[in-house]
Amino acid sequence: MNEFNARELRRLILEMAYNGQTVHIACAFSIVELLAVLYAKHLRIDRTNPRGAGRDYLVLSKGHGVMAQYACMHQLGWLSDADLVNYFGDGTSLKGLADAHVPGVEASGGSLGHGLSVATGLALGAKLGGTDQCVYAVVGDGELNEGAIWEAMLFANQFRLDNLIVVVDENRFQAMGPTDEVMALGDIGAKFSAFGFETAAVGGHDEVLIDGALSRLKAGKNGRPKALIARTVKGRGISFMENDNRWHYTRLTPDLFALAMNELGYEP
């Protein structure tokens, strides 16, 4: 069985959110397939040690989507069932934002826009160290409002970081509304290209297309950093959450939890 099955990952996310009575469910659902493909097909990791030397790096700059990463880490055996049951509870290390104190999480991701700078530093370090490590940075489209993102892109181009792949979760929403209303981004791929990136665009829930696009980008040892623009659906997988931005901050009631689990085909 595919341990990174998207339906199973969404079940784990729902259970974490319900157990912790916390938010950011829809934000996690939009990146499920992206992370599933990265962990299953592209990240070089030591399954016995999440901080193993020589690993590829995954920086979740969109730190509020961390439940999707925790679900993948659980499937790797890096997090236990008890960790997920106690998500966001007293004494847990699993908080509502990416936290680098958790082995397997490379950077803390609460202040949006900072993760890409961390990723470029890791990519430069790998280049200077002569390793073949790849660095993947997952950013949200709303996060592109932050100036630090564009500074990091200039840096990546200046130092020819072709071992850096930025994955943009283009779900067209951010906390306070649609991106077109808050800060219109236009053609994201064209913007990355203008900053010297080799770019590709893909449907962000089609795992075959995601895998192919990442493989092609990674193969391009041409001195250009890479960007994959993934068109996604916020809340993907649960009908009453899809493209409903209220689910950025809405918590699950017992009835809504049961309804969502039933949609996925599970008993609550």
Q: How many whole angstroms separate alpha carbon 103 and alpha carbon 80? A: 13
Q: Determine what percent of the chain is predicted with pLDDT higher than 90.
A: 97
User: What is the H or E stretch that residue 121 is in?
Assistant: helix 115-129
Q: Which structure tokens are listed for 185?
A: 């981004």
For residue 94, the tally of other CB atoms under 10 A from its CB is 20
Determine if the pTM surpasses 0.85: yes
**6-264 classified as CATH 3.40.50.150:** no
Backbone angles phi, psi at 164, to 5 degrees: -110, 125
The pLDDT of residue 7 is above 90: yes
Q: Which structure tokens are listed for 97?
A: 């934002």
Render pLDDT for 126-140 as a digit per residue (tens, 0 to 9).
999 999 999 999 999
The pLDDT of residue 10 is above 80: yes
Q: Determine what percent of the chain is predicted with pLDDT higher than 70.
A: 100
Where do the domains of the chain lie? 6-264
Beta bridge partners of 203: 231
Decide: 234 and 171 in contact? Cβ < 8 Å: yes
Q: How many whole angstroms separate alpha carbon 26 and alpha carbon 71? A: 14
Q: How many whole angstroms separate alpha carbon 126 and alpha carbon 210? A: 24
Render pLDDT for 36-67 as a digit per residue (tens, 0 to 9).
999 999 999 999 999 999 999 999 999 999 99
